[in-house]
A = this chain, B = another copy of it.
């Protein structure tokens, strides 16, 4: 049985303040719970409906009623599995960063966009994402949900971008998209580097721009009189990652 106090504590994890305080995050749904159960992430609690289908695991599940699930769920349609897990703490591995392709997020606001970017990084074998402190929290319920489990496999770090870029930018090419950048489809691209993606409205900040050593541009193919305005940031990230990765198939 889930008591009032317990439900209140669970619900508090919707907010960053309490996630930080407790070092915990929540994840809902059989698929997402399954991914977390298969990962190295430490689980505090696993709540299930009697008919939930999950992969083999050795976590003690607490069977709850549909009504109880409704009370703790943040989803419109509550699912059959609900996990409370520990936020993992990892350290940036600089030598790994120097020898691979990485994504840097400069104030991405929308947790859905962030989650989608984490998911596509997983697909493209990009293991590290470095986020500015103002970027959305990757452990917010909406972000975790949008990663579809990729949060278990991709390392997401929060760091002052000035400090981070000061440390690594000398050794590696720093890419960023700008209106006056080189056509990404014909530009020379390397297997290692940092790809900076800017804020949904403002793009890459001036502070961060100064570290960019190679400006890129995704050309617009619209032939409308009024040209298409822009691409959603997760869509732009996907196009860029796809283009980098296909070169070294």
Q: Say if the beta carbon of A231 comes within 8 Å of chain B.
A: yes
Bound: A122/B229 CA distance, A? 9
Query: How many A residues, CB 8 Å from partner?
Result: 41
Given contacts A246-B185, A249-B186, contact A120 B232 (CB under 8 A): yes
Given contacts A239-B239, A242-B242, contact A249 B123 (CB under 8 A): no
Q: Say if the beta carbon of A143 comes within 8 Å of chain B.
A: no
Of B112, B221, B234, the residue contacting A245 (CB under 8 A) is: B221
Q: Say if the beta carbon of A58 comes within 8 Å of chain B.
A: no
Q: Which residues of B contact A83 (CB under 8 A)?
A: none
A183, A231, A245, most chain B CB atoms within 10 A: A231
**A interface residue numbers (CB < 8 A to B):** 35, 38-39, 112, 116, 119-120, 122-125, 146, 148-150, 153, 183, 185-186, 218-224, 226, 228-232, 234-235, 238-239, 242-243, 245-246, 249
| Extra A-B contacts (15), CB below 8 Å, given A39-B226, A120-B232 | A38-B226, A120-B235, A122-B224, A123-B221, A123-B228, A125-B223, A146-B232, A149-B229, A153-B226, A183-B249, A185-B249, A221-B245, A235-B238, A238-B238, A242-B243
